[in-house]
Amino acid sequence: MSEQQRRPSVQDIRDSISEFDNKLIDVDGDGDFDADDLIAAYDTDGDGSVSAAELAHIAKETAAVARRMGHEPRVAFMSYSTFGNPSGQWLGNLRDAVALLDADDAVDFEYEGEMAPDAALNRKVMELYPFSRLSGPANVLIMPGLQSANLSAKLLRELGGETMVGPMMIGSEKPVQIAPMTAIAPDLLTLAVLASAGIVG
């Protein structure tokens, strides 16, 4: 059997799976993913070892997804701390990721961090930080880890009734998407359209 005829193995699929996931969150509940909605991005390893370079890469790739969906990306690196208040651990990689984007002349989208959710999403709280580079509420949230991303997205869905699509696999060689066990027919259709249209993947 030639290489072209060989069916992909489980290992082939695993090797093509993405570097990170996205979740689309329909915040305003109108059934469309528009300018008021969010893309939450996170590393799939879930071990808390995401480097600054990986965070910067995730930000750039997810911003590109937002653009392909027709949105102008405003990226926020999520944290328990907003610009160092309160101080603590686990802030260095986020700050270094922002510095890497600062040094990249090819970056052409808004980004800021580290920020707590209210400082990234609430206009009144944002006014307390006039030096922030975001012109409006963030629509791309770079989550610090798998746990925080899943907890945030599922809390929004259960408490607020928002629609959530995903996880969407990003960064794979092929347009592979994995539907969650709770997916219903519209979810499967959405994932198929996003993958086949080249919006994600």
Q: Residue 62: phi, psi to the nearest 5? A: -75, -35
Is 29 in contact with 9 (CB distance < 8 Å)?
no
String of DSSP letters for 130-148: TT---SSS-SEEE-SSHHH
What does the angle CA 119 – CA 138 – CA 145 come to, to the nearest 5 degrees? 80
pLDDT, greater one: 12 or 40: 40
Q: Convert the pLDDT of each residue in 153-173 to its tens digit.
A: 777 667 665 566 656 666 666
Average pLDDT over residues 57-68: 85
State the greatest distance between any 2 C-alpha atoms of the chain, in Å, as a whole number.
Answer: 65
| The pLDDT of residue 95 is above 50 | yes
Distance, in Å, from the CA atom of 161 to the CA atom of 102, rounded to the nearest integer, reads 37
- Whole-prediction pTM: 0.72
% of the chain exceeding 90 in pLDDT? 23
Return the minimum-mean-pLDDT range out of 90-94, 147-151, 167-171. 167-171
Predicted local distance difference test score (pLDDT) of residue 93:
87
pLDDT at position 86 is 81
pLDDT of res. 167:
64
In the predicted structure, residue 19 carries a pLDDT above the cut 70 = no
| Every domain of the chain and the residues it spans | 18-170
pLDDT at 102 over 90: yes
Is residue 144 within 8 Å of 152, Cβ to Cβ?
no
What is the CATH number assigned to the segment(s) 18-170?
Answer: 3.40.50.10750
Q: How far apart are CA 182 and CA 16, in angstroms?
A: 23
